[in-house]
Amino acid sequence: MSNPSSTSARPPIERHVWLVAAVVGMGSVMSILAVTIVNVALESLTTELQSPLDEIQWVATGYLLGMGAVIPVSAWISSRFGARRAYLASIALFVGASLLCAVAWSAPSLIAFRVVQGAAGGLTLPLGQMMLAHAAGPQRLGRVMSVIGVPMIIGPMLGPIVGGLLIDQLSWHWIFVINIPFGIASLVMGLKLLPRDDHDAADAERLDVVGLLLLCAGVPLVIYGLSRTSSAGGFLSSGVLVPTIAGLALIALFVRHALRRDEPLLDVRLMRQRGFAAASVATFASGAALYGAMLLLPLYFQGVRGEDALHAGLLLVPQGLGSAVSMGIAGRLADRVGGGRVAVVGLTAMTIATIPLAFLTAETSYWLISAVLFVRGMGLGGGVMPLMAASFATLRDPSDIAHATPQLNVLQRIGGSVGTAILTVVLTSRLTGAADLDAAAAAFDHTYWWAVGVSALAVIPALYLARVEQRARAARRPPRLVEEAQAEEPPAVAA
């Protein structure tokens, strides 16, 4: 006999909810796949487009910047145009941008089209989550939202493999062409399966246009300035200082503007809460370590070890497997002991596992590299998501989650862009004049020490975040449980 209480506690998920999840999942895989699919193509792009590495890396950086630029306005777009309509438009834009990337005739044109593609891909993720949350309802949200976690695991693993296969068998153009049939299929499925949403455009808040312009101009200027360090003649050259200082000034103006506005693009007032401020720094640094270091290994496998693009992608699989193993475990532990503690362990493991990569040679065993990448992947899976969960747990008002979510996502994308730019500059400066493979391997070793430093930078604020989160969890515990916990503690030993 079935238990009615258990049935009511776990209501069944209707067919239409799973159909929405299927559409959103396909769009998410397509968007996230486009992040990593180009990493194995950078070697080919530098040759075929006759562009140096510090310029061609903008093919990856531009996509992340495009994603980061639209995340803050996704909620406004949804309320203004409706989530379904905006989602389908973003898929159509993604298909069009993919076609433009495939026919790009130069590095600048490809970078420009990648920014557009990133903006379209960046919209599909939050808009898809909104529709899925609305369709599932609060009682089924946890089970259905796990669909979004699948592309976060599959995308980074499949991207380099699919990209390598297409480059070796066809050409770099096909890493963008492949998005077109999947995008068209997503568009057709969305038109047929996504429920029409009732929205009133009059309910939409006024868009913070000034804040959007300041942020979207300031961040790219800073990254552009940093990326010119090697080509412009050093950090103190005018080609570096002018755009960097101008970008920082615009970001400062954005912060001042956001503090004075009632409904800013990003609520920077949350930074006054020490726990969230620590989470923001850790999220920025972890994004830099994640996306920046992901760029290095494909270049090492191809440039130093002589592997083709496909095998370079296959050699990255252990890191994705490690993330897949640890992500579910970390989620359960975060609910039990707090996301901050789990994030500290994960980020520390990621940092320690990055150190062996700073000792790579032209003959390092692939088995050893695979083992290191598996451990590093476990650190990534156990650090990034619990970090965001801990940041939410420290917020004084639960309603602030709506403002904290886009802010942390933007910081992660911007951190990834900055990390990619800086590590590329360091690598390019060291590879210049490398006479043999041993010298080239030494250039990667030096760059990975920078990656170790960036990873370690994420651990420090995570430690503070863990302390703040534990205090917040203790404050929310019922008084009876607090008394029982205190009673179980051993008495203090007198001095």
User: Residue 14 above 70 pLDDT?
Assistant: no
Assess whether 169 and 254 both reside in one domain: no
Please compute the mean of the pLDDT values over residues 183-211 and round it to a whole number: 75
If asked whether residues 252 and 327 sit together in one domain, one would say: no
> For residues 101 and 176, is the Cβ–Cβ distance under 8 A?
yes
What was the pLDDT predicted at 485?
A: 47
- Summarize pLDDT for 417-471 with one digit per residue, the tens: 788 878 888 888 887 777 788 888 888 888 889 989 888 888 888 888 888 877 7
* Mean residue pLDDT across the chain: 77
Residue 68 is part of which domain span? 15-193
Residues 226 and 152 in one domain: no
The Cα 186–Cα 25 span in angstroms is 9
42 with 100, same domain: the answer is yes
In the block, tokens 């992660």 appear at 412
* Buried b / exposed e along 452-472 (16+ C-beta atoms within 10 A): bebbbbbbebbbbbbebbbeb
- Identify whether 490 is part of a domain: no
For residues 176 and 252, membership in a common domain is answered with: no
Domain boundary among 145, 163, 193: 193
Tokens of 486: 């205190």
Asked whether residue 204 is assigned to any structural domain, the reply reads no
Q: What is the pLDDT of residues 127-152, one digit of tens each?
A: 776 777 666 654 554 455 555 555 66
Q: What is the DSSP string of 435-490?
A: -SHHHHHHHHHHHHHHHHHHHHHHHHHHHHHHHHHHHHHHHHS-HHHHHHHHHHSP
Long-range contacts: 362-371, Cβ < 8 Å, 24+?
A: 362/304, 362/305, 362/437, 362/438, 362/440, 362/441, 366/315, 369/315, 370/315, 370/318, 371/318
Using CA atoms, how far residue 475 sits from 278, 387, 396, 471, 482, in Å, is: 19, 20, 11, 6, 9
Share of the chain above pLDDT 70, in %: 81
Same domain, 332 and 459: yes
Look at residue 93 in the predicted model and tell me its pLDDT.
92
Does residue 4 sit within a domain? no
**Whether residue 241 is found in the same domain as residue 273:** no
The owner of tokens 């886009």 is 406
SS3 of 263, please? coil
Query: Does residue 125 surpass a pLDDT of 70?
Result: yes
Instruction: In whole angstroms, give the CA distance from residue 310 to residue 160.
Output: 7
Joined together, the tokens standing for residue 431 give 């590879």
Rounded distance, CA 315 to CA 330, Å? 25
Are residue 407 and residue 288 in the same domain, yes or no?
A: yes
| Number of domains the chain contains | 3
Q: Of 304, 279, 312, 17, give the one whose Cα is nearest residue 138.
A: 17
Average pLDDT rounded to a whole number, residues 233-261? 81
Q: How far apart are CA 290 and CA 322, in angstroms?
A: 14
Domain stops at, among 264, 286, 307: 264
Residue 69 is part of a domain; what is its CATH number? 1.20.1250.20
Give the pLDDT confidence score for residue 8 in this predicted structure. 45
Is 483 part of any domain? no
Please list the alpha-helical segments (H only) found in 203-237. Answer: 209-227
Neighbours of 224 (CB within 10 A): 19
Percent of the chain, pLDDT > 90?
5
Q: Which of 264, 279, 310 is the last residue of a domain?
A: 264
In this structure, are 186 and 108 located in the same domain?
A: yes
**Is the pTM higher than 0.75?**
no
Residue 216: other Cβ atoms inside 10 A: 19
Q: How far is CA 342 from CA 109, 332, 334, 380, 415, in A?
A: 42, 10, 6, 11, 21
Map 96-116 to HEC letters.
HHHHHHHCCCCHHHHHHHHHH
User: What are the CA-CA distances from residue 306 to residues 333, 402, 449 (Å)?
Assistant: 41, 47, 23
3-class state of residue 375 by DSSP? helix
User: Are residue 276 and residue 228 in the same domain, yes or no?
Assistant: no
- Compute the CA torsion angle 329, 155, 70, 176 (nearest 10 deg): 180
Q: Is residue 432 part of a domain?
A: yes
105 and 21, same structural domain?
yes
Please compute the mean of the pLDDT values over residues 7-22 and round it to a whole number. 63
Cβ–Cβ under 8 Å, residues 345 and 403: no
The burial of 132, by beta-carbon neighbours within 10 Å (0-12 exposed, 13-18 middle, 19 or more buried), is given as buried
Could you tell me if residue 312 is inside a domain?
Answer: yes
Which amino acid would we find at residue 35?
A: V
Q: Are residues 128 and 273 in the same domain?
A: no
Q: Collapsing DSSP states into helix, strand and coil, what is residue 404?
A: helix
Six-digit token string for 209:
């246009």
The CA distances from residue 483 to 166, 264, 478, 488, in Å, are 62, 43, 9, 9
The Cα 463–Cα 455 span in angstroms is 13
Is residue 6 included in any domain, yes or no?
A: no
CB-CB neighbours of 77 under 10 Å: 21
Question: Higher confidence at residue 222 or residue 354?
Answer: 354
Does any domain span residue 456? yes
Interval 303-331: pLDDT, tens? 888 888 788 878 888 887 888 788 777 76
pLDDT in tens, 369-411: 999 999 988 888 788 777 777 777 777 776 666 677 777 777 8
